[in-house]
Chains A and B, each alone.
Chain A
């Protein structure tokens, strides 16, 4: 049996017919063809699939598409400006070499934006702890942690 779902993704109203078991990550990747959101595990450990649901970081592999009914989703594709200018957190990842293979990166960046929102001014120790739900195999995390601290400072400087 298929269910109708409607939600807003990166500012656009979208709808689709999904099975009850269809994960939000699958809906985003396979129905909407937004492949920037990655799936790196099947046990909710890796965080490659983090998106924002109503502004809050969420592992999209741990939520059914039908549970996202009516919600506003932001994926990695929705972060940069219209003209392609990188979001401050994306730019910070580039500046600090916070990515190598790039596979965990969308989840890391979305998590980084969430950390910046919840914990402005978070120090290195806090940022490292906050990343316990995100795995990176390439970078050893150093560039990621530096990027999140820097990106957060820039985001919060604009806000205040």
Chain B
């Protein structure tokens, strides 16, 4: 299957359907007799709920039911699942706030659900929601990460002292303290990593359907991990998982945000149970800003110790992480799972990280593309540039002299990551050549003549992908020899269908047109954790590969039996016996395999195979981004002029799709660094960026053409040699752009530009620098 083989730039099999308008997103689905829900949300960041009066709403046209937290409790359903496993500094368990689907006593963020209106139409539900009268007693609120733990800060929960939810530490504290105390030079900086939101183009949505006769619930929804979702939701509803079916249609982007079980999923099921009708809820965009989980949001202090030659001897990092108002399983992982990224590609022998998670009156948090990786990469890669500036060394050279050489692999960093492979210096050199690093000063001088301040910035980042876990795949032959391929992974746009079909076509010789791809339906998928953490090509791809290997092994035996030979060879979908010159195609074997006559006695009939692939070893994609920016001194407007990436994401399954992942990730990183920010008013606690008019999304116009080159160093940690690619672009972009912006302004005395580096912020740092007030 040459044109579809692994490594070919195969255009996507999912595209024709999506391009013809045939996508089936949750809001495109409609069930007979369906009703519509609208969520009544708290307008206060923190308030006691004194009374909820639903009488007027109940009498409004089209209204079928108005539900509150009391109805939820009466139904027998439980609270939503919360994060667990971490500890506080004194060793006691982390604080686990209850997470009700609709809050009864207190609202804890602007957007906290307090009632749910179900009506015949979406507009009637929306109209009636305005008639629900809630008496609030507003309380002081805290939204600010830096001050939430201070004495006297408003308490999000009365029994959670100083709002401290958990403390997470990694690395060797004593060794790091010694290294820093003994260092020739210590660079110290504070960074504020802004709060952003995934802003998927498709908002979250769900349709709940309770089948009373069968006593079974079905939920059509937006998600990343169908079986995990079912497990968590079944626990919430206090029902066996077998009584719950979760179905994901097309998902319009997620980036981590849709991975949790949210309130509204429970509300549509409660609504269906109470009204006896399917109930749909889909968020409006404005609702998404107050109802979706946000990402990032931390305040970090970092100290990097160097010896007199510029070698890093220690890194100490202290972080305050905004844990939001409620926690969910995985919502705290941005504070812990990826702090290992801080060690970077460097030999630094002693590293210690200390993260304190603080609760605030803000939206819950979820992983957002990178989930701690971009935050950590930003800190280490900014610190390297700051150190280079302070000791007067070229930032590329400072990286080079500290890099882990291939000869040191496998390499245990000062934190938790153990790198299996990587050729960092080679990738760095390629990137420097690609952008003509040596010629930069001439470009800077030329720009100056045009009145522009030109800067260059780089990052060399590494992150963990495919954390230890498992994934399932199933190859189901039908009687004509075509295939249904069922995966535990769930695409939200990455292109799983294409890559998985490529693997099957490549291994089994069945044309992709004869493969039907199925995912996201818990009544169909037998196993899998789903998608997230750049895991699908490594784990999902290996599961599909493993299933095809099982098919080939069994088909080989059946072919030998059918041809009555003992010398079967297999290549490109054909079983051949050289001795007899006979051959059988995979399809012929598959068609014959359900007839017991064609199958050896010791084998079951049929050629179907399931595979459960698991690994205990993650992989480490890495790469170098170099950016050139130009800043207009008068207006502070920064323009990205050149952007190149050289990456090592292991074996490339499909270069077209890989490029899409890297460029898409870069766009989100650039967005965070240059324009996006969820901002709360510190006094009122109100969200100030509640629509696309206030929250700046990156548009086509801000990007230059991005040039990407792959230099794969295959990993042995999975069957395909692939490393994760979904998050790499975002991870590398934020520090590279930041370093370029600072470089453009360094001659003015500027040493830092806060994110997001809006024209106003850049203009202010330029003006401050001119007045001698260096940032």
Given the interface contacts A19-B123, A93-B19, A100-B660, does A137 sit within 8 Å of B201 by beta carbon? yes
Q: A43 near B: Cβ within 8 Å?
A: yes
Please give, as numbers and ranges, the residues of chain B lying within 8 Å of A86 by CB-CB distance.
16, 19-20
Kindly state whether residue B699 has any CB partner on chain A within 8 Å.
Answer: yes
- Within 20-36 of B, Cβ neighbours of A (below 8 Å) are at 20-25, 27-28, 30
Q: Is A116 in contact with chain B by the CB < 8 A criterion?
A: no
Complex CA–CA separation, A127 to B492 (angstroms): 26
B664 A140 Cβ-Cβ under 8 A: yes
Write out, one digit per residue, whether chain B residues 671-708 have a CB within 8 A of any chain A CB (1) or not (0). 00000000000000000000111000101110101100
Contact yes or no, B12 A101, CB < 8 A: no
Residue among B16, B23, B201, B253 with the highest chain A CB neighbour number at 10 A: B201
Q: Are A41 and B285 in contact (CB under 8 A)?
A: yes
A143–B691 Cα distance when bound, in Å, is 26
> How far is the CB of A44 from the nearest CB of chain B, in Å?
9
Q: Does B211 contact A (CB under 8 A)?
A: no
Interface pair A35/B699, CB less than 8 Å apart = no
Q: CB-nearest residue of chain A relative to B697?
A: A135
A127 to B637, CA, bound (A): 21
| Residue pair B699, A103 in contact (C-beta under 8 Å) | no
Min distance, Cβ B60 to any Cβ of chain A, angstroms: 15
Cβ contacts under 8 Å, B22 to chain A? 36
Closest Cβ–Cβ distance, residue A86 to chain B (whole Å): 6
Q: Of the candidates A40, A76, A140, which one forms a contact with B203 in the assembled complex, judged by CB atoms under 8 Å apart?
A: A40
B174: interface (CB < 8 Å): no
Does A132 lie within 8 Å of B663, measured CB to CB?
no
Query: Which residues of chain A come closer than 8 Å to B252, judged between CB atoms?
Result: 38, 40, 101-103
Residues of A within 8 A of B559 (CB): none
A74-100 interface with B by 8 A CB criterion? 75-77, 79-80, 84, 86, 90, 93-95, 97, 99-100
B118: interface (CB < 8 Å): no
* B648-681 interface (Cβ within 8 A of A): 656-657, 659-660, 663-668
1/0 contact string of B193-206 vs chain A (CB within 8 Å): 00000111111000
CB distance from B222 to the nearest CB of A (A): 11
B693 with A138: CB separation less than 8 A: no
**Which chain B residues lie closer than 8 Å to A76 at the CB level?**
19-21
Could you tell me the distance between the alpha carbons of A54 and B18 in the complex, rounded to whole angstroms?
24
A141/B20 in contact, CB under 8 A: no
**Residues of A close to B27: CB separation below 8 A:** 29, 35, 38-39
Binds B, one of A1-9, A64-72, A104-112, A152-160: A104-112
What CA separation (Å) do A21 and B121 show in the bound complex? Answer: 14
Which residues of chain B have C-beta atoms less than 8 A from A97's C-beta? Answer: 11-12, 656-657, 659-660
Which single residue of chain B is at the shortest CB-CB distance from A33? B30
Number of A residues, CB within 8 Å of B: 56
Contact B123 A21 (CB under 8 A): yes
DSSP majority for the B interface? loop
Bound CA span A32–B668, Å: 35
CA distance in complex: A146, B28 (Å): 29
Question: Which residue of the partner chain A has the closest CB to B19?
Answer: A90
**Once bound together, how far apart are the Cα atoms of A38 and B23, in whole Å?**
10
A43 touching B285 by the CB < 8 A rule? yes
Q: How far is the CB of B625 from chain A (nearest CB, A)?
A: 13
- B332 contacts across to A, CB distance below 8 A: none
Residue of B nearest to A78 (CB): B21
Interface status of B250 (Cβ within 8 A of chain A): yes
B774 close to A (CB within 8 Å)? no
Category for how many chain B residues contact A: 35 or more
Query: Could you say which residues of chain B place their CB within 8 Å of the CB of A80?
Result: 19-20
Would B123 and A101 count as touching, CB distance under 8 A? no
B242 contact set on A, CB distance < 8 A? none
A62 within 8 Å of B (CB atoms): no
Is residue B286 within 8 Å, beta carbon to beta carbon, of the partner chain? yes
Q: Is the Cβ of A104 less than 8 Å from the Cβ of B201? A: yes
Which residues on B sit within 8 Å (CB–CB) of A128?
699-701, 703
Contact with A along B1-45 (1 / 0, CB 8 A): 000000000011011101111111101101000000000000000
Query: What is the chain B residue whose CB lies nearest that of A91?
Result: B19
* B495: interface (CB < 8 Å): yes
Q: Which of B111-134 contact A (CB under 8 A)?
A: 123
Which residue of chain B is the closest to A100 with respect to CB atoms? B493
Counting CB contacts under 8 A, is B244 at the interface?
Answer: no
Most chain A CB neighbours (cut-off 10 Å) among B19, B198, B202 = B19
B82 at the interface (CB under 8 A from A): no
Question: Which single residue of chain B is at the shortest CB-CB distance from A139?
Answer: B664
- Contact partner of A137 (CB less than 8 A), chosen from B14, B200, B666, B693, is B200
Q: Is B251 an interface residue (CB 8 A)?
A: yes
Q: Which residues of B contact A58 (CB under 8 A)?
A: none
Please judge, given known A-B contacts A94-B15, A140-B703, whether A48 and B201 are in contact too, CB under 8 Å. yes
| Residues of chain B contacted by A45 (CB below 8 angstroms) | 691-693, 697
Name the A residues within 8 Å of B665 (CB-CB).
Answer: 140
Kindly report which residue of chain A lies nearest to residue B495, judged by CB atoms: A100
Chain A residue numbers with a CB within 8 Å of B664 are 100, 138-140
A140 close to B667 (CB less than 8 A): yes
B700 touching A131, Cβ below 8 Å: yes
In the complex where A95-B11, A141-B667 touch, is A34 in contact with B253 (Cβ < 8 A)?
Answer: no
Give the top 6 A-B pairs by smallest Cβ distance, nearest first: A36-B21, A101-B493, A103-B252, A140-B667, A102-B18, A100-B493
Beyond known contacts A40-B203, A93-B19, A94-B16: 8 more, CB 8 A cutoff: A19-B123, A40-B252, A45-B693, A84-B20, A100-B495, A101-B202, A138-B253, A140-B663
- B-binding residues in A (CB < 8 A): 19, 21, 29, 33-43, 45-46, 48, 75-77, 79-80, 84, 86, 90, 93-95, 97, 99-106, 109, 124, 127-129, 131-132, 134-145
- 22 of the cross-chain contacts (CB-CB < 8 Å) are A35-B25, A42-B286, A76-B20, A94-B19, A95-B11, A99-B15, A99-B493, A101-B200, A101-B201, A102-B15, A102-B252, A103-B200, A105-B19, A105-B23, A135-B699, A137-B668, A138-B664, A139-B663, A139-B667, A140-B663, A142-B706, A143-B660
